[in-house]
Amino acid sequence: MRKALIVGINQYQTAPLSGCINDADAIAQVLGRNGDGSVNFHIKKELDIDTKGKLKGAIVDCFSGNEDIALFYYSGHGFIDAIGGTALLEISKK
């Protein structure tokens, strides 16, 4: 089995974005089914996830189990530093 966690976050307090959820929807559609309609990845989408804890839990869940492939796709603010890339979660309080 293959599974994918697809995250798109538009809602940020100081710098909201407008295309991340669209990106997440598009990649989920591409990865979800093969050309013949059969299931490619079992998709879990998280859109405008509102806490770092929820995001971390979803990532841990994605990579737990014994699937052949686990994929994580993130569209939102982030940055790269000396130890790698980091998602920036500055979640707005709705």
Cα distance between residue 69 and residue 2, in whole Å: 5
Kindly tell me if the per-residue pLDDT of 91 is higher than 60: no
Cα(29)–Cα(1) distance, integer angstroms: 17
Please tell me the distance from the alpha carbon of residue 94 to that of residue 92, in angstroms, as a whole number.
Answer: 6
Predicted confidence at residue 88, as pLDDT, reads 62
What's the distance, Cα to Cα, between the start and end of the chain in Å? 36
Task: Convert the pLDDT of each residue in 16-71 to its tens digit.
Answer: 999 999 999 999 999 999 999 999 999 999 999 988 889 999 999 999 989 999 99
